[in-house]
């Protein structure tokens, strides 16, 4: 049975000079409102011991706009500013529910430059998108079509560190489940092999960061030599950001293709519950673990399985998948990382990663 889900389609676009100026001004105002509201809520929380609601911050915003000092907030659409207050409210809700740390201030250099527009602040007409305060539609590169008849509910405009402009269009889409299949697969995450499947297949880690490491190091050295505040330093910074963007784009593209393949070919996918944050404390492997991007891999599997009526099972992180013989179930006392192949007393010869993947599959199917 088809299900209706909210799905974001992200496209690159090329703003006119006037649109770029308007959007940059909006980004600045969004960041300012978020930080000022956070400052007021922090003051009330620390000095008065009370929580400030979204309604109160919305009233504050109205008062700020009436002052001569902050009159510039009236120059941009009010919707992205209200959305910034809603995002701050969500951040505090997560903090009080102990799902996240205390909200932090947005930085001009480090924070993502973005603005969110709801239906009242944009117009969608004949496949063209008009934002509030703009006369011309955005020049969007339609790399893939939107679902037929889709009506955007939210539009988020952003600019990355490499200077590229993106628009993310949120629509409701009807997704039909994939036809059922009988196969199931266990997945063991690794470094040299990004994943090893219980079928015996090993998918090599492309090592996107490693492939561009020399080029990245050269660009970073050039950046370090430039005088702070100079135009040459900004050019060098953009060069570094473009290399990082290339690495990120290639990695995400590879993960999308891999996870889509796993979901299409298998009814059940079983993975390990890896604690990536703790594993990154190993300074010898941190760079390789970050490049593998296991967290993003799991996230993609989760929502794709939910979309297409597949089952994703997660095995406990303490399950000894590498030490257990998948043939007879004997648990080995030790299994150092440098041991890649081993033989059990029962006579079964194992590849370490393939054996682990088979154990993960068996454990997942046994627990469901």
CA nearest neighbour of 31 among 81, 91, 93, 67: 81
Active site residue 309: no
Active site residue 201: no
Helix intervals (H) in the chain: 17-43, 54-66, 78-96, 208-211, 213-225, 231-265, 276-279, 286-292, 294-307, 352-367
DSSP bridge pairs for 141? 12
Cα distance between residue 308 and residue 175, in whole Å: 7
Task: Out of 22, 188, 209, 291, pick the active-site residue.
Answer: 188
Cα distance between residue 246 and residue 250, in whole Å: 6
135: how many CB neighbours lie within 10 A of its CB?
8
SS3 122: strand
Cα distance between residue 196 and residue 54, in whole Å: 47
Its sign, for the CA torsion 12, 16, 19, 20, is positive
Q: What is the distance between the terminal CA atoms of the chain, rounded to a whole angstrom?
A: 23
Cα distance between residue 153 and residue 276, in whole Å: 34
- 325, 310 Cβ separation under 8 angstroms: no
CA nearest neighbour of 267 among 367, 357, 187, 181: 181
Its sign, for the CA torsion 102, 107, 112, 117, is positive
Active site residue 253: no
Task: Out of 22, 116, 173, 272, pick the active-site residue.
Answer: 272
User: What amino acid positions are annotated as catalytic residues?
Assistant: 188, 272, 353
């Amino acid at each position: 049975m088809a299900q209706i889900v909210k799905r974001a389609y992200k496209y690159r676009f090329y703003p006119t000079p006037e649109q770029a100026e308007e959007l940059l001004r909006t980004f600045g105002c969004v960041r300012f409102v978020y930080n000022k509201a956070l400052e007021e809520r922090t003051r009330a929380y620390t000095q008065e011991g009370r929580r400030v609601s979204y309604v109160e911050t919305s009233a504050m915003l109205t008062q700020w706009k009436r002052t001569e000092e902050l009159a510039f907030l009236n120059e941009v659409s009010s919707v992205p500013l209200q959305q910034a207050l809603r995002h701050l409210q969500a951040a505090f809700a997560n903090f009080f529910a102990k799902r996240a740390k205390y909200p932090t201030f947005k930085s001009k250099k480090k924070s993502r430059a973005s603005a969110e527009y709801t239906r009242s602040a944009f117009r969608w007409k004949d496949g063209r998108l008009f934002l509030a305060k703009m006369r011309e539609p955005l020049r969007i590169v339609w790399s893939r079509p939107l679902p037929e008849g889709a009506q955007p509910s939210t539009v988020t405009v952003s600019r990355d560190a490499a200077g590229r402009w993106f628009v993310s269009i949120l629509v409701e889409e009807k997704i039909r489940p994939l036809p059922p299949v009988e196969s199931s697969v266990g997945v063991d995450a690794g470094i040299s092999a990004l994943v090893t499947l219980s079928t015996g297949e090993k998918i090599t880690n492309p090592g996107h960061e490693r492939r561009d490491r020399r080029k990245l190091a050269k660009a970073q050295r050039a950046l370090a030599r430039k005088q702070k505040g100079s135009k040459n330093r900004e050019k060098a910074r953009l060069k570094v950001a473009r290399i990082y963007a290339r690495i990120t784009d290639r990695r995400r593209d590879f993960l999308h293709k891999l996870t889509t393949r796993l979901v299409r070919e298998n009814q059940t996918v079983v993975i390990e519950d890896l604690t990536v944050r703790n594993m990154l404390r190993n300074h010898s492997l941190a760079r390789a673990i970050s490049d593998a991007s296991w967290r993003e891999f799991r996230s993609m599997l989760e929502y794709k399985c939910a979309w297409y009526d597949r089952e994703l099972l997660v095995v406990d992180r303490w399950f000894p998948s590498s030490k257990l013989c998948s043939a007879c179930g004997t648990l080995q006392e030790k299994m150092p990382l440098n041991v890649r192949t081993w033989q059990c007393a029962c006579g079964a010869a194992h590849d370490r990663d393939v054996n682990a993947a088979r154990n993960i599959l068996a454990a997942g199917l046994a627990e469901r």
